[in-house]
Amino acid sequence: MHRFSLSPARLLPALLLAAPTVLAQQGPPPASVRVIEASMTELAPTLELPGTVVSRNDAKLSAEVQGQLLFVAEVGTRVEKGEVVARMDDTYLTLQRDEYSGIVARESSRREFLEKEARRLRQLAAENVAARNQLDETESELQGAVGELTVANARRSQIEVQLAKTRIRAPFPGIVTERLQNPGEYTSAGDPVIRLIQPDSLEVVARAPLASLNYVSEGTELVIRTDNTRGSGAVRTLVPFGDGRSHLFEIRVSVPPTPWRVGESVRMAVPSAEPIEVLAVPRDALVLRREGSSVYRVLDDETAERVSVTTGLGAGGMIQITGGIDAGDRIIVRGAERLRPGQKVSILEDDGAPPRTADSR
């Protein structure tokens, strides 16, 4: 009896020819996906309103005394609170301070002399009538000297205040964003010299319809987004006084410095009605095609089923769906882009564990 066998040279082509047939029978490998359960969720209808990111501290710092500017901080310079951002020529004020310092010294010496003279005359006044007259005259001069010294001290203090104001200091930590005058220019009291913005104290300013006032209060979390960025912030304050023609009121929402930038245009989702309970899934679960919207549901045998849905109310990252999906259904939120109906899936755990299949449950 002869045994049938294939040599290695004949076996390899046979395996290569059989491989596509085996792969076709097995189908594509399970796709790794993340899922979430569809659930009944309270969502509130919202309006998307245009807003602008601003700094709560944005100041044009002005000169308080006149003089020639000797130094103005460069645009882009980051400064701390109290740091000098501009300095003016103080030569004339320094001379005035020195002058009044001399007057203070002179009046102090005169007062000391008259105080000693008055003490001496008080001792003689009890025995000598003439001494009493001299005492009265000396005490009168002493009172005048005290007044002159007070005036000289006050004027010197005024000059010292003006000298301090030749340095413009940052009232808060920030970044110099604009030079309104340059070194060498002459500035007068009240002229803006430099613009300073605090970049890490931000808020979004928007104008909302008065009807939304009933659904927004201080502390309410609102979704804020751009084409590339999404975030949220808490309502810091609102001004419930609308314009008579536009019927809009101002709303200010505190946001973190990252990823927002001063001057950036954003869109803010503001509630426009009471929340209602709907069946909702994350927006990332939607698969958008020309024929319409759909989601993929994971069946008990770990295969993906495509279900056409109709979208409804949206709020934040959640959106209402209707059409063939029930609460508790496992909906794919990551990895659905290339799925095919009936394809096996491996469910990724949120804690980073390996994919979970039907055999590993």
pLDDT digits (tens, 9 = 90+) for 223-245: 899 988 889 999 999 886 766 67
Q: Which residue has the higher pLDDT, 24 or 276?
A: 276
What value does the mean pLDDT of the chain take?
Answer: 84
Instruction: Render pLDDT for 294-334 as a digit per residue (tens, 0 to 9).
Output: 999 999 899 999 999 999 887 767 888 998 899 999 999 98
Determine the average pLDDT of the residues in 215-224.
88
How confident is residue 96, by pLDDT bands cut at 50, 70 and 90?
very high
Q: Residue 78: is its pLDDT beyond 90?
A: yes
The superfamily CATH assigns to domain 46-56+201-271 is Efflux pump adaptor protein, beta barrel domain (2.40.30.170)
pLDDT of residue 2: 47
Point out the least confidently predicted range of 120-129, 209-218, 317-326, 345-354: 345-354
| Rounded-to-10 torsion of CA 106, 110, 113, 119 | -150
Q: Is 323 left (phi over 0), alpha (psi -120 to 50) or beta?
A: left
CA distance to 40, 41, 285, 295, 302, per residue, from 282 (Å): 12, 11, 6, 11, 21
CATH class (in words) of the domain with range 61-86+168-197:
mainly beta
Query: Residues in the chain, how many?
Result: 361
Q: Residue 348: is its pLDDT beyond 50?
A: yes
How far, rounded to the nearest angstrom, does the alpha carbon of residue 44 sit from its chain's CA centroid? 26
Fold match flag (30-45+276-360 vs 61-86+168-197): no
Q: What is the DSSP string of 270-328?
A: EE-S--EEEEEEEGGG-EEETTEEEEEEE-TTSBEEEEE-EEEEEETTEEEEESS--TT
* 91-164: CATH number: 1.10.287
- As its CATH architecture, domain 30-45+276-360 has Beta Barrel (2.40)
Amino acid residing at 312: G
Q: Domains of the chain: which residue ranges?
A: 30-45+276-360, 46-56+201-271, 61-86+168-197, 91-164
Q: Which positions ≥6 away from 38 have C-beta within 8 Å?
A: 279, 280, 281, 321, 325, 326, 327, 328, 329, 331
Instruction: Render pLDDT for 229-287 as a digit per residue (tens, 0 to 9).
Output: 889 999 999 886 766 676 788 899 999 988 899 999 999 988 888 888 889 998 889 98
pLDDT above 90: percentage of residues in the chain:
42
CA distance to 54, 306, 348, per residue, from 338 (Å): 41, 12, 16
